[in-house]
Amino acid sequence: MKWTDVQEIAIELSERHPEQDPRQLRFTELREWVLALDNFDDDPAHCGERVLEAIQQAWMDEVD
């Protein structure tokens, strides 16, 4: 997965952390969780606030 795979990342995070409310997660934690995903293989430097916002929103949509 790459940073651009927002929906796939959101699904993986919701499956890996079902107890977590994505609205309560700080971007620093979200970034670390994405980097820790088994299938994630992208440059950590390519992540910005917009990417994290998109992942968080997709995760919230997944939960709802």
Question: pLDDT tens, 18-56?
Answer: 999 999 999 999 999 999 999 999 999 999 999 999 999
Chain centroid, CA 31 distance in Å: 7
End-to-end, the C-alpha distance of the chain in Å comes to: 23
- CA-based nearest residue to 15, from 48, 30, 37, 44: 37
Query: Based on the number of CB atoms within 10 Å of its own CB, is 10 exposed (0-12), middle (13-18) or buried (19 or more)?
Result: buried
Query: Is residue 22 within 8 Å of 29, Cβ to Cβ?
Result: no
pTM across the whole model: 0.94
pLDDT of the residue at 64: 86
Query: Is residue 50 within 8 Å of 11, Cβ to Cβ?
Result: no
* CATH 3.40.50.720 holds for 6-63: no
